[in-house]
Structure 1
Amino acid sequence: MDEKITIEPLTRVDADAACQVFETTIPAAFEQEGIGSLLDDIQHEIAHKRALIHTALQPKANKEANVFFLVAKMDDVIVGTISYGPCGEEIRECTDHRLNDIGELGSLYVLPEVQGLGIGSALILALVTELQRLGIKQFCLDSGYQIAQQKWQRKFGEPYVVAKNYWDEGTDHMVWLCRVQDFADKINRCKR
């Protein structure tokens, strides 16, 4: 890989390009899962992510929720995103509200043409580093995508909760609860 990857906080200038990442990756993820025909769900997910970006870009004094995004750039072009903010509705439901006060790692999307280059891992590492800097001890994440669930199990271990048949028969939703320090330690061991 010759291109230089940088991870930066989201700025207003980056907003449209970050939304373009969602418009490309979300339909691709649905298609990969065999649910590409759920066009309303795809559009709802894209709209939700756009709204989250809007929230993240609000002045701190006016924010209802503490949400922030990091973006991955390859030669100054945004190729991936990750966010941190209050846990989402699926996490609250699946955990009987036990994780309501834990922030969520979310919106981890990398353009299909550059997946497999370590961009997702770099985004996670940058987010974990920022969480450490902020003194945040835990985060949660969730997934209803079966392919992503396999990746998360390799990266984060067994899920905290598995909501069986959450979306439909045979489609579970998984939630992970992670200690920031444990994940930072794991990353640092892998670097050696």
Structure 2
Amino acid sequence: MDFDKFCKKNQIGTYKMNPDTKNVSLHFSPIELKKLFKLNGVIKAQKGGFVFGKNHDEGGIKIIEPYFGKKEYYVSIEMEGNEYLTDFTKNENILNEFKLINKDYKPKWREEIEIPKKCKIIDTTKLETQCILIEQTPRMIINCYATNKHLEKIISLDSKKGFLSYLLKL
């Protein structure tokens, strides 16, 4: 089901405008987010991974994250199936590697992909509406083409986490 229709039908969320960017997005209280989980409308993706789900033309997969400075969550962006959502990292070298990989892009590109057994999977296809909760940033969404072309390298970089090296710098 379309995410906006799903939320409206179940009386979840409120549209709000960001005063800085003037972008309007759907916001949720912690209670509404719990309701979204109970209705099978969202899954957590704490570790990242290869994402199964709708492409942008089919409505995509909404990403919900904490709205900083407030006790609420909001739809921050949309991704699509066959993209890779990286794990949380503050390691600049790893983030730069992901950015470099993500520059390899072909719009509307779709092709079958062989997924290695060691690859983490995020499957949104069994949800009532396709939505992922992430609670830590920064993360990156690697486009479909780059994911297919560089999946082994993405998995390797993503497994390094980078968080330990961040802590060691403190």
User: How high is the TM-score relative to the length of structure 1?
Assistant: 0.26
Question: Which structure shows the higher strand fraction?
Answer: 1
Query: TM-score of the superposition, structure 2-length normalised?
Result: 0.29
By relative contact order (CA 8 Å, sep 6+), the higher-ranking structure is: 2
